Amino acid sequence: MERRRPPQTEEGWYVLHDFRSIDWDAWRGAPERRRSQAIDEGIDYLASCEAVDNADAGESATFSVLGHKADLLVLHLRPTLDDIDTLERRFEHTALAEFTERADSYLSVTEVSGYMSEDYFDEDAEVEDTGLERYIESRLKPEIPDSEFLSFYPMSKRRGPDHNWYELPFDERADYLANHGEIGKDYAGRVTQIISGSVGLDDFEWGITLFGDDPTDVKELLYEMRFDPSSSRFAEFGRFLSARRFPPANLGAFLAGESVPQEGGADHGHGHSHGGGDSEGHHGDSGDHHHGGDGESDGHGDDEDEDLRSELEDIGVYAGQPHGEDVHAVVLYSAADADELFEEVDGLRENFDHYDTHVKTAVYEPRAGGDDAEAAVVSLWDTERAASTAAGFLADLPDIVRQAGDDEGDSWGTMGMFYTVEPEHRTDFVDTFGDVAGILADMDGHRKTDLLENLEDENDMFIASRWDSREDAMAFFRSDAFSETVEFGRDVLAERPRHVFLA
């Protein structure tokens, strides 16, 4: 009898969904002093959990549960079961615990599987995609998304006489999951997820936690996925619980029956993340293979980078912070045709626009440069966490070859970005780039420099360069030719370049 091949898995943080019901009769009948103590100790406990005061790492969040199944949800992610166990018992020592009963709970652990990348589990294979490694890390150690609404449900894969998931060959299972994930791409930026495995830990095989600002986005996504064979043939679900996030400081308002979350409460302090496993998978997140990452360049923020930025500023160039002056930039390069790339990006951008943190997403095509010039996708966000999430979605675009900031090991990059050229000087700007490109071609350590323009606005451009080393690039920045170019730019640009992105 043939034994089907299971996917390899790697586990990360343990996850506890701790559902509590409030004894409202006891709460109403308690003296004011006792209720005040319960609120104070409850706030201290929840705030300490969200600050991860008693563990090396992790995440926690507090939610008001909708409906009769519970009143309060405290969601914990921690590196060890000891951390989880301690949090449970610490709650029982608060005055708040006296007024609660545990309505339900679910224990699981974050995981990635071989459906995502078999090379990741092959000791002899080299995973050269640093973006993939960072994406896997984000699934093993996720952040709780910055969304108000949560929907949690457990699920298992069906083992019935007609449809048995575990009797399917590995490749067929992988295809089901890949096709299932395609649906989630349409909800990028609107629904995010944490998926964790619970085989041997709880009653079902996975726990699915979906996050969004609009509950109907979650509803529409789940409804659409019901028609996908991965769900219709092979998924069995437990009960669904819905909740709304509020900061610990609003606990008193929650217990008083007032609106939560309230203005002026503690900041959530959380971002976006992804999920994984043999489960439904990809509920609004990007697909299986990710070239993108957190949008950061390796090594930024250290003393050497600070010295570099200071030196550039001394010669009249604002080098910005790792991501930019007042935005966080994700830049990915693609070998795909720019027009085809734009069609894909435009769909993602509509979803990104649902978020106030989204500044801009655009496709840039090569305007001048070498024969190996590539199109680029630039996505700007107000926060680093939002940029990190966007990087995961964008990494599934066609023919992505690299992300700015990925450590290529033997080279160093810069991007002079956001050159908004006065329309009457556009030709002058392009001609000057040609002159500078000629100088660069003769410089030691220079590899390539390309001029790219926004597919939707020919006056919006940026310049991308690659060098053998940081010092080779600095030799150009210190040159008279560069100083003259900076002076020229002041006359032809409509506004100051937002930053030089050091990749």
Tell me the catalytic residues.
153
Question: 235-237 and 149-157: which strand pairing?
Answer: antiparallel
Phi, psi of 186 (to 5 degrees): -70, -15
Cis peptide before 161 (omega within 30 of 0): no
Tell me the C-alpha distance between 136 and 130, whole Å.
Answer: 10
Q: How many CB atoms lie within 10 A of CB 413?
A: 22
Taking every pair of Cα atoms in the chain, the longest distance, rounded to a whole number of angstroms, is 83
Q: How far is CA 273 from CA 59, 66, 294, 360, in A?
A: 12, 23, 11, 20
Q: Which residues are CB-contacts of 51 (< 8 A; sequence separation ≥ 6)?
A: none
Joined tokens for residue 323 = 């991501």
User: Residue 7 gets which letter from DSSP?
Assistant: P
Phi, psi of 81 (to 5 degrees): -65, -30
Tell me the C-alpha distance between 58 and 133, whole Å.
Answer: 19
Q: How many CB atoms lie within 10 A of CB 134?
A: 22
User: Residue 421 gets which letter from DSSP?
Assistant: B
Q: What is the DSSP string of 84-149?
A: HHHHHHHHHTSGGGGGEEEEEEEEEEEEEETTT-HHHH-TTS----HHHHHHHHHHHSPPPPS-SE
- 133-140-120 Cα angle (round to 5): 40
Tell me the C-alpha distance between 241 and 281, whole Å.
Answer: 18
Q: Which residues are CB-contacts of 181 (< 8 A; sequence separation ≥ 6)?
A: 281, 282, 285, 286, 287, 288
